[in-house]
Structure 1
Amino acid sequence: MLFQEEGDQSLFAPSSLTRRETFFRSSEDFPDSEGANYVDEISLPQSALKALLDETSFAMASQDVRYYLNGLLLEREGNVLRTVATDGHRLALGSLTTANTITEKSSIIIPRKAIMELGRLLNDSEDNVNIAFSNQQIKVELPDLHFTSKLIDGQFPNYERVLPLGGDKEVIAERDQLKQALSRAAILSSDKQRSVRINLESGLLKATVINQEQESAEEEISVEYNGAPLEIAFNNAYLLDLLNAIPDDKVRMVFSDENSSALITPADDKLERQYVVMPMRL
């Protein structure tokens, strides 16, 4: 097909049977991603960035009226790169150490759509990826392409105030064993009622689901727990999401009481991944 320019802002494609005409804009009007004033730049392996995004981005909100939740907080402090996502009911926080250090703390909010696209583009290789930030956009340089996105202009919630402190009931569980138990119990869950009731006693965790038809499923697993008995309920889908995100073999769950949020982390003490889930009413 032959395109011919007609005037300053239109193209037409003539043929023996049809005529197509469309309007265009000058290439000078295309956004200039290279013209942004980038104030910070870091370099890290693709695999590290992909893992950081995969292990936190699932907690982002989707089409929330609080637009600043429909994205991922990317924060730089010293030599630490941190990502935080929350939808108001759960929170995921991840961090890693970078080679370069900044003197002032800085943060941006990357839109959900850009995070999902980055998750598709990144791979598990050790090839470096360069990330540059400005006040209005982010640029990610991969070996074979450059990716840019506008940022969300808003104030992300103070996530540090959400992290539970002082919990006195600590459980260590095999991640895969717990995930399988919750998955089996979830078979009887309905779309409207996805709660799972967790009962803790010495050395034992019991997960119970009761649906609207009063059908029930109960799963028991052995855990490391020596605290007082506790009964607490959560959205089962939220627990499964974070268990799918944690790569470690064991998880630590810290509780205060049935009305307080739970803090869930890998069982080691590095605290590079932290997950907070709000309880549901019993």
Structure 2
Amino acid sequence: MKLTLDRAALLKPLAALNRIVEKRTTIPILSNILLKAADGRLTLQATDLDMEATAGVAAEVEMPGAITLPSATLHDIARKMPDGGRISMEANADGTHVVVKSGRSRFTVIALPPGDFPDLSAGEMPHSFSMPAKTLARMIEQTRFAISTEETRYYLNGIYLHVADGEDGPWLTAVATDGHRLARARAAVPEGAAGMPGIIVPRKAVGELVRMLDTTGDVAVSLSPAKIRFAIGDEVLTSKLIDGTYPDYLRVIPQGNDKRATLDREAMAQATDRVATVSSERGRAVKFEFETGRVAMSVTSPESGEAHEEMEADYEAAPLTIGFNAKYMAEILGSLDCDKVAVTMADAGSPTLIVTPDDDSLLLVLMPMRV
């Protein structure tokens, strides 16, 4: 293998793929990145056995071939080279090392055989569809904050992607919950997605997917009950799915909440953050007192003191005092892209529903706290 390419063209995919490579592994090949040079392109591939990412860049290929090199080392070499430079790579005949050159710099990097590199993308993925990348990115951004980090309930450690029936027809639906809050985002069902199984996309893959979807155009999605693949241009992300049954989240969504307050989203977020300044880090509970035309937010901390703030609210129901975790409320309000937010409640101990008044594609549920 022998090739030359722009330093900037190599650095971008290396930075992305280097995040997937396991920093501590007992399997040496998993610390490496697979490079394949052919037909004027260099294809790079990384995996941690649960997830695999592939990217391609243009290159002047003098001799096609494949090799694996340590991901961290190659990334550091490219990162430390001057801007605007060119990088050449040439493997020896035995494939045991690669000479990397840029300007007056020369590195000899130990290589491993490409035949030992695992292939996660093999196997049939019978369900395929395409959808706007921005739409899928929106659904993920609006739900991923609620993914559980509790390993004992591993089936909550991802986003549940499925087709769900609604009052106005089926929807492609993304759901995440950690037991304290729940986020559900939905979009029109893309052509070809109607028969897909419900799947749980792992948290790590979700994080990489958000970066990958930061683009225009469509994303091609292929999946089976065990794996999912996302493809945009030269970038492909393949991930194993969480093998588990997602709980019946519809049971958590309240149906009879009769006390509704409409508030300015940004003002509510800022006021909640200010009064939470004196709350204890452990609980971060903020008391919300809803009365006609207003809501008062307050915190009383034996260690730090007290805080109190009021704001206008479109509220006409019976007075209600309820407590919320300030951090959870901030993340929910931050996931919304709207001016106004509607908060519907039943009582101080029941789940609260938070929605955008003029958009039913996003629904959020927050469990109250004792105050």
- Residue 280 of structure 1 is matched in structure 2 by 369
User: Does residue 1:75 correspond to 2:162, yes or no?
Assistant: yes
Give how far 1:177 is off: 1.1
Q: Distance in 1 between matches of 2:337 and 2:266?
A: 10
Is the alpha carbon distance of 1:195 and 1:124 closer, same or farther for their aligned partners in structure 2, counting shifts above 3 Å?
Answer: farther
**CA RMSD between the two structures:** 2.4
Correspondence for 1:39: 126
User: Which residue is equivalent to 2:214?
Assistant: 123
Distance 2:244 2:198 in 1: 11
| Contact 1:61 1:86 (8 Å CA) reproduced | yes
Structure 1 match to 2:205: 114
The answer to whether residue 115 in structure 2 is matched with residue 27 in structure 1 is yes
Which structure has the highest strand share of the two?
2
* Partner of residue 85 from structure 1, selected from 154, 171, 176: 176
Q: Secondary structure at the match of 2:151?
A: coil
Contact 1:84–1:91 (CA under 8 A) maintained in structure 2: yes
AA in 2 matched with 1:107:
G
Partner SS state of residue 360, structure 2: coil
Partner of 1:182: 272
Aligned with residue 51 of structure 1, among 138, 143, 152: 138
What does residue range 192-203 of structure 1 map to in structure 2 within 5 Å? 192-203=282-293
Is the 2:183–2:364 Cα contact (8 Å) retained in structure 1?
Answer: yes
Cα distance in 1 for partners of 2:315, 2:269 equals: 18
- Cα distance change on mapping 1:105 and 1:168 into 2, 3 Å: farther
Distance across 2 between alignment mates of 1:63 and 1:250:
32
CA distance, structure 2, for counterparts of residue 178 and residue 140 of structure 1? 37
Q: How many Å separate the matches in 2 of 1:186 and 1:26?
A: 54
Deviation string 1:11-50 (CA, Å, 9 cap, x unpaired) is: 479xxxxxx99794652652141x3221222211111111
Residues of 1 paired with 2:194 and 2:305: CA distance?
A: 57
User: Percent identity among equivalent residues?
Assistant: 34
Listed one character per residue, the Cα deviations across residues 182-233 of structure 1 (whole Å, up to 9, x for unaligned) are: 1111211221120001100001111111223251111111011100000111
C-alpha separation in 1, matches of 2:232 and 2:263? 38
The residue aligned with 1:96 is 187
Contact 1:77 1:106 (8 Å CA) reproduced = no
Moved more, 64-73 or 256-265: 64-73
The answer to whether the aligner puts 1:226 opposite 2:316 as a matched pair is: yes
Paired amino acid for 1:237: K
Deviation digits for residues 90-121 of structure 1 (CA, Å, limit 9, x no counterpart): 10100011341555462100110000111122
> Structure 2 CA distance, aligned partners of 1:12 and 1:141?
31
- Asked if the contact 1:36–1:134 (Cα under 8 Å) also holds between the matched residues in 2, the reply is no
Matched ranges for 1:257-272 at <5 A: 257-268=347-358, 270-272=359-361
User: Aligned equivalents of 1:48 and 1:121: distance in 2?
Assistant: 13
* Counterparts of 1:61 and 1:212, CA distance in 2: 30
State the TM-score, normalized to the length of structure 1: 0.88
| Structure 2 length-normalised TM | 0.68
Task: Return the letter of the residue paired with 2:227.
Answer: Q
Amino acid at match of 1:82: T
Distance 1:173 1:271 in 2: 17
CA contact (8 A) 1:193 1:211 kept: no
Q: AA paired with 2:281?
A: D
Letter in 2 for 1:184: R
**CA gap 1:102/1:119 in 2 versus in 1, 3 angstroms:** closer
- Runs of 4 or more, structure 1, over 6 Å off, are 1-6, 20-23
| Structure 1 residue 76, shift from structure 2 partner | 2.1
Please report how far the alpha carbon of residue 65 of structure 1 lies from its aligned counterpart in structure 2 after TM superposition. Answer: 1.1
Residue deviations 1:146-201, cap 9 Å, x none?
11111100011111011011011011111111111111112112211200011000
CA contact (8 A) 1:77 1:102 kept: no
- Residue identity matched to 1:280: M
Q: Is the 8 A contact 1:189 1:211 kept in 2?
A: yes
**Do the aligned residues in 1 keep the contact of 2:258 with 2:346 (CA within 8 Å)?**
yes
